[in-house]
Structure 1
Amino acid sequence: MSMETQNLPGGPLSGLVASAVEYLVDAGQRSVLFLDIMRRRGDQYREHVAQTAPHVLQYAAELIIDGRKLDEPVNYALVRIIPPKGVEIDSERRPFIVVDPRAGHGPGIGGFKADSEIGVAMKAGHPCYFIGFLPEPMPGQTIERIARAEALFIEKVISLHPKADGKPCVIGNCQAGWAVMILASLRPELFGPIIIAGAPLAYWAGVHGKYPMRYSGGLLGGSWLTALASDLGAGKFDGAWLVQNFENQNPSNTLWTKQYNVYSKVDTEADRYLEFERWWGGHVNLNAEEIQFIVDELFIGNNLAAGKIEMSDGQKVDLRNIRSPILVFCSEGDNVTPPQQALDWILDCYADVDEIRAYGQTIVYTVHQSVGHLGIFVSGGVAKKEHAEFSENIDLIDVLPPGLYEATFEAKDEETTSSDLVVGKWVMRCEARTLDDIRAMGSNSPEDERRFAAAKSVSEINLAAYRKFVQPWIKKVVSPQLAETMRNLHPLRLQYEAFSSQNPLMATVKSAAEEIEDKRKPVSKDNPFLAFQEQMSKQIVHALDSWRDATEALSETVFLNLYGSPALQAALGIDPKSELSRRREMSAEHRAMLEARIAKLRSRIGEGGPREAAIRSLLYIGSARGMVDERSIEALRRVRRDYAGPRLSLAEFKMLVREQFFMLLLDQEGALAAIPKLLPDDVNQRRTLFGSIRDVLSASGAVLGEPANRLQRIGALLGVDAGEGSANNVAPFDQARAS
């Protein structure tokens, strides 16, 4: 093609020039609008931090208890969430309490959106409460004092709902997760089901080659830097450093993607971005004692699951004391709290599933495949699926027999069996698991355990040296005024301040943005320069991710080799050939209590009536399936609701289920043989009961294989043919009244 042809009007070169002009106009406008969004972000930040009680809750709230006015004051408060218009709350339903994570950010993330933990719980009809905090800690505030305050908060919620069918369901997000678990081990009588979302409980756990945040303490020489940061803050630890740690885990997002996403979608992304940044930039402070406890006892010491944390009154924190069902929600995509850190505490506390049952514990976990750390409790999609199912089926979970389960979710569609028994848009199943399923996700080797034990010892030595030789000098030099100045100069705060309206240059940006909004000319989607822009962005992300991967691989190599040194371990008193184990044996007191309980249950196998017989039969047949489906439990719940005899409370019903479950574990043949003795001789009543049992079981699908064989055996025990008493002849819930 000749040059003359290329330059003809409408030729390829002319089209390219037009595309370039179009792109340059759009890029220039986007740049100004992006800077104006940064200005709005800075102004929003200044307004937010100026508030006495800043938060990002999207719901109106009523203050119930101000923790600052307690005998032992804390900067926490209990509020009641006021349901929005159109949301009906049943005050007799189990209340939900969301405890916000104090991990450097401000409060409100549990109710950050309409589709949130609070939102889905209220939609399911539950009263909701929120435990949040203020930016500044109270003098003398400690983790233990906060736990005592939160116990008072939960007691207050219980007193406000005396007719509620069950103790409150408490949700602990991220750092609030371990705080809730500590309190639940000390005051188990206060809790209904506990939902732990993205919470690190086994801090040393992980796998090689992924998410090396667990190595940070060892690579920094331990917690002496935490003490130094607190001393430079005049007794306060700046939460912005914790936020900085989060940002360092994903440099491509921190340095590029988050801002580029706003720039590239400047016409539509501003509100969502500013909403999130209001929370992300709401940094809060912690007392030195609080953060030192967190780092020494939890992150570096890993003492929580090992039962080595002791309160001031001598009471030890033992997670095995928790009696409420524990729901653990984690994700493969979480680079802050990977599944191993969320779940391996189970391996530290129990030898096998039988030991979980011996403690009367029910543990349910679910592992998302991709959502990141914040998405676990921020994502609307997660809220509408996992959190909504947990909220709608919380009573199902509360009556599960003791053991270990994985919650799985299947979308409800037109072909779903008994879809009328499915409350939400998903069918939730709790499938029985063993500790080997947890181990299969990856766990530490004995060599890794020795490495982390060595890092813990080095931390203790360095912290002692810092406190003796350096800390006294730092405390003499740093005044509260100097500490405040240093906090204001933190890089994360400066990035907000620099682009706020306090910067006189931003006034020009504001006026230019207002003018551009009237003359906005977005680039066409098929513009080749826009495609080039997108490609360049991907290259930048790839480069930053590669840099992150390289530095993470280097940090892991350094940690493993340094703390894996036999010489260093021997010098620290760690046998380089030992197999360290944090798992504890069952105490003599608990074993004696368990033996007494076993003897009592054995003596009562022949006691009871139709209700005991029905539950025992259902547990015997259902255990062959290895899972519990929400449809079967909903069918059973309706039987319980419509039962004409004396009504059991949820707690009494739960106790009945557990007793019958343990009787089957202790003496299955004896428990089955006793079933006919629990029923009247009337064959019609037995036939009716058998029909109800079968209808509950068939709610989630056909009864086949071993469950069918067991159903037939129950029919034989009752003297009823397996084909009798079907729902085709008699409505199952009418049958239940007769039983």
Structure 2
Amino acid sequence: MSIDKVQIPGGPMSGLVASAVEYMIDAGQRSVLFLDIMRRRGDQYREHVAQTAPHVLQYSAELIMDGRKLDDPVNYALVRIIPPDNVEIDMNRRPFVVIDPRAGHGPGIGGFKADSEIGVAMKAGHPCYFIGFLPDPMPGQTIERIARAEAIFIEEVIERHPNADGKPCVIGNCQAGWALMILASLRPELFGPLIIAGAPLAYWAGVHGKYPMRYSGGLLGGSWLTALTSDLGAGRFDGAWLVQNFENQNPSNTLWTKQYNVYSKVDTEADRYLEFERWWGGHVNLNAEEIQFIVDELFVGNNLAAGNIVMSDGQKVDLRSIRSPIVVFCSKGDNITPPQQALDWILDCYADVDEIRAYGQTIVYTVHESIGHLGIFVSGGIAKKEHAEFSGNIDLIDVLPPGLYEATFEAKGKETASSELVVGQWVMRCEARTLDDIRAMGGNSPEDERRFATAKRVSEINLKAYQKFLQPWIKGMVTPKVAAWAHNMHPLRLQYELFSSRNPLMATVKSLAEKAEEERKPVAKDNPFLAFQEQMSKQIVHALDSWRDSQEALSEAIFLNVYGSPALQAAVGIDPTSVPSQRREMTAEHRAMLERRIAELKSRIGEGGLREAALRALLYVGSARGMVDERSIEALRRVRRDHAGARMTLPEFKMLVREQFFMLLLDRDAALAAIPKMLPDDVNLRRGAFEAVEKVLSASEDVTGERAKRLWQVAGLFGLDIGGPSETASNVAPFDPKAKAS
């Protein structure tokens, strides 16, 4: 019914009554259209779960390897992403491999949108591959078996790209992040840079008043409940329970905001909502052995960073064994994987930055201020910024000298110096950091560590009691039919089923929705009743958020008091006066290897020619800045491309950078003093190399301060007079060609 046909006895309606009628018509239409969207969501869910290999990838893909056909079968597969027609791939660039998280949802989130991890990697010219999974695990499948299968997949990618300029860059989101770190520690030779997005690695870490999910294991009495849930599923763990855990963290969004946003924007929001729900509702299963490993070894046990996980062949998982650069992307707005859980493994593994360097490790992290957990790997804005910069500058990250860095981003504008050297719309810098920068984000006190250690022991005791006294009875009572019934009756599945077309009442909704679309008349934006609706929504969100905050505060108080009890700690074998520490000392084997490597590098300080001397000089001057700018690396790449000489592969160049960096680190005076003897007699060659160094250093900003002093010093080593400070910055003499012969 049209509003202009509505009349009341005695004359036209007053403004307020007209607004009320206008709002009621709009609200009625929106309600019907909203219910129809719920019907479409239910039908979409049914179609999705009926597929053999459901996924939400937005790209065509070619199956390369089916994990079900391996000697130790798994429900994982490797596919090659077929680039769109408007994307040009350089087969000589390192391939990218995205591993999808198997944390309750179905596969495809890394390629969920055009602006995605896969999308930005292909735009940068990289061949892309995707490791996804099927809804049901193979019999006997374990986390270790999956890791071995993924190693086979990575080997296949390497074999398909023999001329690539580096080993594959592998991206692991959420659960796939910690799984990737386990695999990279076991098979470090397979990997180029690792990008770990929103992945927990230090499971106990956090700060009081935030991130209460880390208390869940202790509040539930440990992992016995995980075993019970698996037994009720006849050996299968329903991933819907994991999804429900995520939803419980934000009840206002789960119970109200997500649906209200569709209702209030019913004319424009349906497609986006249905696209996301297709992934969110695609629940998958895990074997009991898989989920028990995850809970016992990681979330309750916190054994990953501590190096306490042992594979079936006796090999220990030691994150310090990883040789590839590690990029950690996390956010302060992520209540699933807060920055402490993403980064504090570094504090557990290394005493300081020198020890990070001693292991030859490069770690780059970036902390977003507000994006939520899912936004880290599905937000188009994040894909266009952080992921695009990581993809476009992956070679920069790969050749960084060992150490700890924070990646920062500055928008490229008209005032940006050397903007032609910037790959995308942002300038990425890697700024040197220390472990104190990570500690400054907050973390556990010794008392907190004792609490979590106590919760771990309680979990072990409860699990053994359950396995001895209850598990045999539960397994005997649960038949496959009972397990299937419980699976289908999960509340998260019922909400899709009840609103699908299987419900005969929804047929009426469909016909009413078609009529509502024909007669659609949206309410005016300045309608006072619409403003009242928005205010009521805000009040509901505030009430739910307040309830959540009170529940979180209560759960934290219970955990801290129960597991902080000296009596309970002593009863389970935890010394109430101890100062627990996860950090491990360097092994004797690694220390011996390190000493041999130091001796070797020191003996070779005087070796090399113009290339080694120029790179050593560049590292010496550049290190005074404490950061590396992508423009400097691009300038260096162009120097390598444009100058004559034997072409170095990226791995060879990376090795050269590391050797020269460590020589300067071990004995700077000797390394600088050796430069004149490494240079040719031809002054033009020396001058050309020096100008190349100067060009790289000035690519991002003018060379001033300490860098200018060091550059002038290097000019003296090269036998060049460029003017400079009135007093020398070093006691190293200027270059003398006769010294080379001696």
Q: TM-score range by the shorter chain?
A: over 0.9
Whether the 8 Å contact between 1:356 and 1:404 is mirrored in structure 2 is yes
Whether the 8 Å contact between 1:305 and 1:345 is mirrored in structure 2 is yes
Q: Secondary structure at the match of 2:202?
A: coil
Note the alpha carbon deviations across 1:265-295, whole angstroms, 9 max, x for none.
0000000000000000000000000000000
1:675 alignment partner in structure 2: 675
- Pairwise CA distance, 1:10: 13
CA 1:252/1:10 → structure 2, altered by over 3 Å: closer, same or farther?
Answer: farther
Note the alpha carbon deviations across 1:422-472, whole angstroms, 9 max, x for none.
010000000000000000001111000000000000000000000000000
Q: Secondary structure at the match of 1:64?
A: strand
2:59 aligned with 1:55, yes or no?
no
2:130 alignment partner in structure 1: 130
State the distance in 2 between where 1:296 and 1:639 align: 52
1:425-574 alignment runs, 5 A limit = 425-574=425-574
State the distance in 2 between where 1:703 and 1:257 align: 52
State the distance in 2 between where 1:560 and 1:10 align: 69
- Pairwise CA distance, 1:689: 1.4
1:219-618 alignment runs, 5 A limit = 219-618=219-618
Corresponding letter in the other structure for 2:342: A
1:102-141 alignment runs, 5 A limit = 102-141=102-141
- Pairwise CA distance, 1:43: 0.1
State the distance in 2 between where 1:238 and 1:341 align: 25
State the distance in 1 between where 2:18 and 2:722 align: 80
State the distance in 2 between where 1:120 and 1:260 align: 32
Q: Greater shift after overlay, 548-557 or 643-652?
A: 643-652
2:73 alignment partner in structure 1: 73
- Pairwise CA distance, 1:682: 2.1
State the distance in 1 between where 2:363 and 2:196 align: 11
Whether the 8 Å contact between 1:334 and 1:373 is mirrored in structure 2 is yes
Q: Secondary structure at the match of 2:14?
A: helix
- Pairwise CA distance, 1:644: 1.2
Corresponding letter in the other structure for 2:605: I
State the distance in 1 between where 2:10 and 2:674 align: 93
1:729 alignment partner in structure 2: none
State the distance in 1 between where 2:327 and 2:398 align: 10
- Pairwise CA distance, 1:723: 5.7
1:728 alignment partner in structure 2: none
Q: Secondary structure at the match of 1:289?
A: helix
Q: CA RMSD in A?
A: 1.3
Corresponding letter in the other structure for 1:374: L
State the distance in 2 between where 1:427 and 1:39 align: 46
- Pairwise CA distance, 1:11: 11
2:4 alignment partner in structure 1: none
- Pairwise CA distance, 1:683: 2.0
Whether the 8 Å contact between 1:330 and 1:339 is mirrored in structure 2 is yes
Whether the 8 Å contact between 2:364 and 2:404 is mirrored in structure 1 is yes
- Pairwise CA distance, 1:8: 12
- Pairwise CA distance, 1:691: 1.1
Whether the 8 Å contact between 2:431 and 2:626 is mirrored in structure 1 is yes
- Pairwise CA distance, 1:681: 1.9
Whether the 8 Å contact between 1:77 and 1:131 is mirrored in structure 2 is yes
Note the alpha carbon deviations across 1:389-420, whole angstroms, 9 max, x for none.
00000000000000000000000001100000
Note the alpha carbon deviations across 1:194-233, whole angstroms, 9 max, x for none.
0000000000000000010000000000000000000000
Q: Secondary structure at the match of 2:52?
A: coil
Q: Secondary structure at the match of 2:171?
A: strand
- Pairwise CA distance, 1:643: 2.8
Whether the 8 Å contact between 2:94 and 2:165 is mirrored in structure 1 is yes
1:197 alignment partner in structure 2: 197
State the distance in 1 between where 2:646 and 2:148 align: 38
2:43 alignment partner in structure 1: 43
Unaligned stretches of 5+ residues in structure 1: 1-6, 725-739
Q: Secondary structure at the match of 2:539?
A: helix
CA 1:529/1:145 → structure 2, altered by over 3 Å: closer, same or farther?
Answer: same
1:642 alignment partner in structure 2: 642
- Pairwise CA distance, 1:708: 0.8
Whether the 8 Å contact between 1:105 and 1:284 is mirrored in structure 2 is yes
- Pairwise CA distance, 1:718: 1.2
Whether the 8 Å contact between 1:711 and 1:722 is mirrored in structure 2 is no
Note the alpha carbon deviations across 1:494-517, whole angstroms, 9 max, x for none.
000000000000000000001111
Corresponding letter in the other structure for 1:413: G
State the distance in 2 between where 1:643 and 1:182 align: 41
Corresponding letter in the other structure for 1:420: E
Whether the 8 Å contact between 1:104 and 1:242 is mirrored in structure 2 is yes
State the distance in 2 between where 1:268 and 1:483 align: 40
State the distance in 2 between where 1:717 and 1:68 align: 61
State the distance in 1 between where 2:578 and 2:624 align: 41
2:190 aligned with 1:181, yes or no?
no
Unaligned stretches of 5+ residues in structure 2: 1-6, 725-742
Note the alpha carbon deviations across 1:2-35, whole angstroms, 9 max, x for none.
xxxxx99999981011100100000000000000
Whether the 8 Å contact between 2:57 and 2:108 is mirrored in structure 1 is yes
Whether the 8 Å contact between 2:712 and 2:723 is mirrored in structure 1 is no
State the distance in 1 between where 2:643 and 2:656 align: 15
Whether the 8 Å contact between 1:40 and 1:500 is mirrored in structure 2 is yes
1:171 alignment partner in structure 2: 171
Give the TM-score taking structure 1 as reference length: 0.96
Corresponding letter in the other structure for 1:21: V
Corresponding letter in the other structure for 2:239: G
2:148 aligned with 1:148, yes or no?
yes
CA 1:503/1:609 → structure 2, altered by over 3 Å: closer, same or farther?
Answer: same
- Pairwise CA distance, 1:125: 0.3
- Pairwise CA distance, 1:484: 0.8
Q: Secondary structure at the match of 2:129?
A: strand
2:210 aligned with 1:210, yes or no?
yes
Query: Would you say how many aligned residue pairs link Structure 1 and Structure 2?
Result: 718
